[in-house]
């Protein structure tokens, strides 16, 4: 019988080299290489290095905005108190004013009939803000809120008043 010899038998692969090569190729590509993982970690580190300072700056600006808002509300409450009593007060309870959390406000007046000044400090900010009205407005324009040597008019960004 022609063609029935071992040379034409295709049932089993007798070449061990080709069998090991296929098995090894299947085993070697199950994960990421060290260089790929290192590249991803470096990219993530660069992105974190860019993002963290921006987030910190945004938090400080929001704390300062809270402080400015509280001092603006205090100014309005002081003027309303003056309209009713013809004098200013240094008592926050008399103003029916409650500052935001982490904000401490101290009101000082040399002459309650002529003016007042207030210093506000946020627990997470290094620099305080101040506002004043009348004769006590020495370091700040009357009605303005001054934080970190930057004065903002009483209306803020809208310019209302």
pTM here is 0.62
- Work out whether strand 150-152 and strand 129-134 pair parallel, antiparallel, or are unpaired: unpaired
- pLDDT of the chain, 161 residues: tens digit per residue: 555 555 555 555 566 666 666 666 556 667 889 999 999 999 999 998 888 888 888 888 899 999 999 999 999 999 999 999 999 999 988 998 899 999 999 998 888 999 999 999 999 988 899 999 988 888 778 788 888 644 444 433 333 33
Distance CA 39, CA 161 (A): 55
Per-domain boundaries in the chain: 36-152
CA-CA-CA-CA torsion sign (8, 11, 12, 13): positive
> What pLDDT, on a 0 to 100 scale, did the predictor assign at position 153?
40
Distance CA 155, CA 48 (A): 36
> What does the chain come to in residues?
161
Distance CA 155, CA 152 (A): 8
> What pLDDT, on a 0 to 100 scale, did the predictor assign at position 142?
79
| Strand extents, DSSP E, 90-156 | 103-108, 115-122, 129-134, 145-147, 150-152
Output the CA torsion 149→150→155→159 (10° steps).
150
> What pLDDT, on a 0 to 100 scale, did the predictor assign at position 116?
92
Nearest alpha carbon to residue 97 among 83, 114, 79: 79
Q: 3-class DSSP state for residue 154?
A: coil
């Amino acid at each position: 019988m022609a063609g029935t010899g071992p040379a034409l038998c295709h049932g089993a692969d007798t070449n061990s080299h080709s069998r090991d090569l296929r098995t090894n190729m299947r085993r070697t590509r199950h994960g990421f290489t060290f260089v790929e993982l290192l590249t991803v970690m470096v990219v993530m580190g660069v992105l974190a290095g860019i993002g963290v300072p921006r987030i910190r700056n945004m938090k400080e600006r929001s704390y300062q905005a809270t402080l400015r808002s509280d001092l603006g509300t205090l100014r309005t409450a002081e003027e309303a108190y003056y309209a009713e009593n013809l004098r200013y007060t240094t008592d926050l309870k008399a103003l029916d004013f409650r500052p935001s959390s982490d904000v401490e406000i101290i009101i000082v007046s040399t002459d309650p009939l002529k003016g007042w000044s207030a210093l506000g400090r946020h627990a997470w900010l290094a620099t305080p803000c101040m506002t004043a009205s009348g004769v006590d407005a020495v370091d700040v324009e009357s009605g303005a809120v001054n934080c970190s040597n930057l004065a903002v008019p009483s209306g803020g960004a809208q310019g209302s008043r």
